[in-house]
Chains A and B, each alone.
Chain A
Amino acid sequence: METEQQNPKATSEKTQPKLNPDNKDFKLQAKNVDVFYGDFQAIEDISLDIVDNSVTAFIGPSGCGKSTFLRLFNRMNDYIDTFHMNGEILLNKKSLYDESVKVEELRKTVGMVFQAPNPFPKTVYENVAYGLRIQGIKDENLIEEQVIKSLKQATLFDEVDSLDKQALALSGGQQQRLCIARALAVKPSVILMDEPTASLDPISTAKIEELIRELKEKYTIVVVTHNMQQAGRISDNTAFLYMGRLIEYGDTKKIFTNPEKDRTQNYITGRFG
């Protein structure tokens, strides 16, 4: 593998992930991961540790493998016929791809929010209750309690006049927060977000970003974003991927002020990509 050129206009300080002073554990870990779709190699030998109770952003040009890499953490790539991988993905130091792992159980722990809000054509209440119902919870009081709690966490509760309102009648930003509430209802510990504000206006984007900052107190959040300023605003650590390889990973402040690698600098300053 070719070695990455150092950034000529930078200190020689190495880029390192910023650890959480209150929780030094790594929630998610990738160890020498290769991903293939048939013959095409989408990810090449990536190793990376994601800090617990933090926000990690994946940035990089389209097709660099960041969404593929994100989807490894809740096994979303399993649906793709030609997908196969080498290496290990660990959650709380246990392999996610172990035969004993039940994917349905995994997705309770690792929730996901997608680029376009995708609520079900049901009421606000039923959207959030959905995950709990398929878990087999029948106690309506418990469900209601959890729905309200999740909507409050997603800062949506005060904005909807009735929980019986149709989800599709909400604004785009509200729908996205509803999807976040739906993910939170099943009490995950990790939330993956694939360009969660790509289709939202600046005000809705600001609300989601504020929410992400609040949620990291309790959850580990990994966000794929094309918006560099957003990565700077919300994340503690940033990983820059290029053509399936991890070029640089570490403290977001360092990456955006004094990146170690030339390619990172060229990408974040808009000189390529």
Chain B
Amino acid sequence: MAQLETEINLLNDDILELMYLVKTQLEKCRKAFMNFDEELALEITINEKRVDALELKIDRDCENILALFNPVAVDLRFVIASFKINSDLERLGDHADSIAKYIMDFGEPIDEETIKKMRIDEMFDTAIEMMSNIFSAFIAEDTDLARKVFAKDKILNEINRNISKITAKLIKSNGKDIQQYLYLFSIIRKLERVGDLTKNAAEELIFYIEAKVLKHQKDKSKKRKESDDS
């Protein structure tokens, strides 16, 4: 096997490790939030250091591969995509860390009815599904699966769009829980960003596999075949 191929495989393993770590961080966020588990939230903030360390390692590996092996074509696209996905994953890790800190700040469990009204459980589920999709898509190099995150991101955007009104209504009806509503409002904003970053990672994965740039395009869900025939 050529040395470049070995380096690319190692980079691939590191990206997968980081992706898995970030996915687990988000899953733990959901669990810590729903069960008001402050210990688990603390664990998330501690694990954030692992995310940062892995991000730095991947950055350095990408730089080394570019400098030493001059990759072209599919290899170059893989390194570029990995470099960008790495940055997306690190920011996803930051959001998980921020959510964990909000949970620790709550001081008491969140009322289940409020969670339902603000649709936070749905947001968590959707964001985690998106992460799972991108994780599996990366392993299988499956761009159809990667494309599924685009539709799911729309669900997160829709919830986020309506949240100001819902929060205002909740505050009006129950003034004593304002701080809690504001925490929840912030968590929703974070989860919306989680969706955007996962979508970015999907775009990069498609760029690597299909050599196609989907950034800033409206209809990203277009199938490979359809867009090639057009």
Binding site for B on A (CB under 8 A): 7, 9-12, 228-229, 232, 256-259, 265, 268-271
In the complex, A10→B228 CA distance in Å?
11
In the complex, A257→B4 CA distance in Å?
16
Establish whether residues A256 and B228, one from each chain, have CB atoms under 8 Å apart when the complex forms. Answer: no
Most buried by B among A228, A232, A257, A270: A270
Establish whether residues B70 and A268, one from each chain, have CB atoms under 8 Å apart when the complex forms. Answer: no
A9 CB to nearest chain B CB (Å):
5
Establish whether residues A269 and B71, one from each chain, have CB atoms under 8 Å apart when the complex forms. Answer: yes
In the complex, A256→B76 CA distance in Å?
9
Contacts of A11 in B (CB 8 A): 210-212, 228
Contacts of A259 in B (CB 8 A): 73
Identify whether the interface residues of B are mostly helix, strand, loop, or mixed. Answer: helix
Establish whether residues A9 and B212, one from each chain, have CB atoms under 8 Å apart when the complex forms. Answer: no
A4 CB to nearest chain B CB (Å):
16
Contacts of A256 in B (CB 8 A): 72-73
Contacts of B68 in A (CB 8 A): none
With A229-B70, A270-B2, A271-B5 known as contacts, the answer to whether A10 contacts B210 (CB < 8 A) is: yes
With A257-B77, A269-B4, A270-B2 known as contacts, the answer to whether A9 contacts B209 (CB < 8 A) is: yes
Establish whether residues B228 and A12, one from each chain, have CB atoms under 8 Å apart when the complex forms. Answer: yes
In the complex, A228→B2 CA distance in Å?
16
Q: Which of A12, A228, A232, A265 contacts B74 (CB 8 A)?
A: A265
Establish whether residues A268 and B73, one from each chain, have CB atoms under 8 Å apart when the complex forms. Answer: yes
- Identity of the chain B residue whose Cβ is nearest the Cβ of A271 in the assembled complex: B2
In the complex, A11→B210 CA distance in Å?
6
Establish whether residues B5 and A257, one from each chain, have CB atoms under 8 Å apart when the complex forms. Answer: no
In the complex, A229→B66 CA distance in Å?
12
Is B75's CB within 8 Å of the partner chain A? yes
Most buried by B among A232, A256, A258: A258
Contacts of B4 in A (CB 8 A): 269-270
A16 CB to nearest chain B CB (Å):
16
In the complex, A9→B211 CA distance in Å?
7
Q: Which of B73, B211, B228 contacts A269 (CB 8 A)?
A: B73
Contacts of B71 in A (CB 8 A): 269
Establish whether residues B72 and A9, one from each chain, have CB atoms under 8 Å apart when the complex forms. Answer: no
Q: Which of A7, A12, A232 contacts B72 (CB 8 A)?
A: A232
